Amino acid sequence: MNMIAVLLFLWHCVGLGVSVGGSSGARKAQGQGQWQLLLNNTGVVAMHMAVTRHNTVIIFDQTEAGQSGYQLRTRYNGSKCSRTRDVLDSTCYAHSVEYDVSGNSLRPLRIDTDPWCSSGAFLSNGTLIQAGGYGNGARRIRFFRPCMNHQCNWRESRRSLSDERWYASSQILPENDRVVFVGGRGVFTYEFVPKVTTTEKSFDLPFLHQTNDRNAGGSNLYPFLHLSSDGNLFIFANRDSILFNLRRNRVVKTFPQIPGDGSRNYPSSGSSVLLPLDHSNGFQKLEVMICGGSTSGAYRAADEGRYLKGLSSCGRMVITGNKHKWNMENMPGPRLLHDMLILPTGNVLIINGAKRGCAGWDNARNASRQPYLYEPNKRLGRRFSVLKSTKIARMYHSSAVLLPDGRVLVAGGNPHNRYSFSNVAYPTELRLQAFVPNYVHSSYHDLRPSNVTVNYEGYGLLYGEEFNVRFWLEDKPTNVVEFTAYAPPFTTHSISMNQRLLKLRCKSMVWYPDGWVNSVLEAPPSPNVAPSGYYMLTVVNGGIPSMAQWVRFILYPYMGAGGYGGPGHSPLPPFSKI
């Protein structure tokens, strides 16, 4: 291969030019996406969902929701459940399942303390840490470590949280495998798991006192959390936000209040996303986007059977640098109880939700059945488009997650304190769907990278390390080829906790006449940019993504299965000791 050809392929690598995806009429016809019905009955409402590195999805509900679709043989205490005598006993039913994406099948899991309205995050070894809830689950810490044979189950820590965490949020931190849990109903503190010392407790957070509105159900529950690239924590509650230094327990910045009426956090239940981080600016420009929520008075009005119109506005604000201003724009319609997911293309999907009311039992009306696509790099006024509508209402206690194949798994919906299927405005919803974005359509086959392999040695990739990605294309690459790494979130109550997408630096790329492409990428520079753990790596050619492959970013070269670098490198105890 001559030097001119190599230079041409390097030009492709850095992403100059314009995407050609969607240029033909056949491709444009698929622009609204499609819906797939995967299962008629998941057995369990998807109040919480998370995608594991083994391409399964953990789905679970509150344990006090009554009978699910799966009856257990034994209770938590070991006593047997009768198929006839205990038919109404909720402790004799599974309230969690593991969904296998490739097999389109379910496996019931037992979860023994109530995770109702709890939070979670993935540790560096792919284990889901899940904490808080209601009643006997309010201070519990749970773990689910997925395994290849799909025989794993939930286990509970011997230790407990310092405070009850009901409607709290969580964020994985740059320190290896340390998680912060923030807020909760009637709780105005934050705490770490694991704790550095046996005497460490929770820490008061005055910001949560200041943003609490008792007349509106709090309006600062499930605060939005985003990790900044300087290691500080962005916290948004009600209408206000701060940048907080967790190491020093102090506010670094106080941001302007988001304009407009109403609130954005539970029970107003807007949603938030951290827009993609980009290597081109050293991952130093971080921009938060917040959309929807409930108008002022919606919480009390819903108690009286009046459902006020939700908010249509979205705000974007850069949280790094020295100039901070909310730049406002409007969605195509009002929305609350929705999910915001970053697609492999860097666009944002807004899906599920309602147009009126607020969160809570029977507190919302007018389901939002049409997803919105938001393209952040387009000019103002042309960023939103309306996608194909679903026939299934997904409102309170529904959720959505991005799958490695580029589809979006959608499930749940239950505005009742028990499973109710008749004589109600919105019945409990157990059907499982996938929303299929237009980029998955077969008309893009010639543009879609396939057979993607990621090559590196050891347990994972060190920060800043070069690694190789090989893939195949039917034709040579387009003028825009990007490589994205996506941190899978824990989703519940309109929040995708720890969701993060990075556009990685491609240092070189060579296309061969037989269709194979070899590329050299650079891992993120630090755990502030990308906390240690597993990410979905996707090759995006002209706006058309490949099937994602899992890649692990690690802090130390000899990190083992437990996720720790060894003595002298981490002050935190192994999670096996928790």
pLDDT tens track for 314-345: 999 999 999 999 999 999 999 999 999 999 99
Give pLDDT, residue 110: 87
Cα angle vertex 223, ends 220, 228, to 5°? 145
Average confidence (pLDDT) over 14-26:
39
- The residue among 14 and 308 whose pLDDT is bigger is 308
Give pLDDT, residue 320: 97
- The residue among 83 and 358 whose pLDDT is bigger is 358
- The residue among 559 and 506 whose pLDDT is bigger is 506
pLDDT in tens, 24-47: 433 454 579 999 999 999 999 999
**CA neighbours within 13 Å on the CB side: how many for 369?**
11
Give pLDDT, residue 577: 52
pLDDT in tens, 202-236: 999 999 999 999 999 999 999 999 999 999 999 99
For the CA atoms of the chain, what is the radius of gyration? 23
Give pLDDT, residue 90: 74
Band the pLDDT of 82: cuts 50, 70, 90: confident
Cα angle vertex 554, ends 493, 483, to 5°? 70
Q: Residue 522: name the closest of 483, 555, 548, 477 by CA.
A: 483
Is the pLDDT at 568 greater than 60? The verdict is no
Band the pLDDT of 176: cuts 50, 70, 90: confident
Is the pLDDT at 9 greater than 70? The verdict is no
Give pLDDT, residue 91: 77
**Strands 348-351 vs 203-204: parallel, antiparallel or unpaired:** unpaired
Give pLDDT, residue 149: 83
Cα angle vertex 374, ends 371, 380, to 5°? 135
Residue found under tokens 């949020």? 169
Q: Which residues pair with 34 in a beta bridge?
A: 436
pLDDT in tens, 430-474: 999 999 999 999 999 999 999 999 998 888 999 999 999 999 999
Q: Residue 211: name the closest of 246, 164, 251 by CA.
A: 251
Is the pLDDT at 525 greater than 70? The verdict is yes
Band the pLDDT of 67: cuts 50, 70, 90: confident
3-state secondary structure 170-210: EEECCCCCCEEEECCCCCCEEEEECCCCCCCCCEECHHHHH
Helix (H, G, I), strand (E, B) or coil at 49: strand
Helices (H) and strands (E) in the chain, counts: 4, 43
Band the pLDDT of 569: cuts 50, 70, 90: very low
Is the pLDDT at 575 greater than 80? The verdict is no
What number of other Cβ atoms are within 10 A of residue 28's Cβ? 12
| Structural domains of the chain, ranges and CATH numbers in brackets | 3-24+443-577 (2.60.40.10), 25-440 (2.130.10.80)
Average confidence (pLDDT) over 264-286:
98
Give pLDDT, residue 5: 43
Q: Which two tokens stand for residue 18?
A: 């314009």
Give pLDDT, residue 302: 97
Which residue blocks in 246-395 are alpha helix, DSSP H?
298-303
Average pLDDT of the residues of the chain: 91
Q: Which two tokens stand for residue 40?
A: 């008629």
Q: Residue 138: name the closest of 147, 130, 128, 127 by CA.
A: 130
Backbone angles phi, psi at 165, to 5 degrees: -120, 90
Instruction: Report DSSP state, residue 13.
Output: H
pLDDT exceeding 90 applies to what percent of the chain? 81
**CA neighbours within 13 Å on the CB side: how many for 448?**
17
Band the pLDDT of 556: cuts 50, 70, 90: confident
> Any idea which of 122-126, 173-177, 349-353 has the lowest mean pLDDT?
173-177
d(CA 477, CA 439): 16
| Residues 339 and 352 sit within 8 Å (Cβ to Cβ) | yes
| Residues 395 and 353 sit within 8 Å (Cβ to Cβ) | yes
Q: Residue 60: name the closest of 76, 42, 73, 78 by CA.
A: 42
